[in-house]
Amino acid sequence: MLVQTRNGQNITLDQEINRGGEARIWSVQRSPQQLAKLYFAPTAQHEAKLHAMLANPPRQPRDHSAIAWP
C-alpha cells in the first residue's frame, strides 16, 4: 500500500502487523526499523499528542530505542 505524508513523501507499507481500537500498525517496506500507524479516524487530538511526543522523547539508557516512539 502506498501512502503519502503531509509533506508529500511517499511511503510504501508492506504488511499489516496489528490493529487496535483506533489504528492499524504496518511495517514499512525497505525500512525494517520503522513502523507506520494509520488511524481509522484521525483527530486533532491525535496530531497534538504526536507533536507533544516528538517534542519530548523519553530518555534512553542505551544507544537504541527500547520502545516505539512516537
pLDDT beyond 70 at 67: no
Which residues fall within 8 angstroms of residue 49, CB to CB, at 6 or more apart? 70
Average pLDDT over residues 59-68: 69
Q: What was the pLDDT predicted at 44?
A: 96
pLDDT digits (tens, 9 = 90+) for 4-47: 988 999 999 999 999 999 999 999 999 988 899 999 999 999 99
Segment 42-61 mean pLDDT: 87
Mean pLDDT value of segment 34-62: 88
**pLDDT value of residue 57:** 81
